[in-house]
Structure 1
């Protein structure tokens, strides 16, 4: 069985009551790049970006990224 990385950024933003715009400003990543990540279309993410997002949302990488089977 093959797996993929599922991005749960949208759920976390709702939980933390943070908009994509606010996150973009706080972490210094463009709205376009955050949207690509949020929609699960990103091919990769820099550790520095992941760290900045985790610090801004007060979470762990596993709260954002999840390994799940490809349906």
Structure 2
């Protein structure tokens, strides 16, 4: 992974990109290891978080309209 969005990465950038890919791989591995019930609970939690974030976003936009 030497490029992100068309930009050439330096040594530090490649390390960060590689660490991010490693973290993503670990997350995917942990998700795949979940039971069906745990996976369903994770999806429900994420859906609830999205609802909360959308509500906060609407509140913020109401306070600070463009």
TM-score past 0.5 threshold: no
Of structures 1 and 2, the larger Rg is shown by 2
TM tier relative to shorter chain: under 0.3
TM-score by length of 2: 0.28
TM-score by length of 1: 0.27
Structure ranking higher in helix proportion: 2
Larger relative contact order (Cα-Cα within 8 Å, sequence gap ≥ 6)? 1
Structure ranking higher in strand proportion: 1
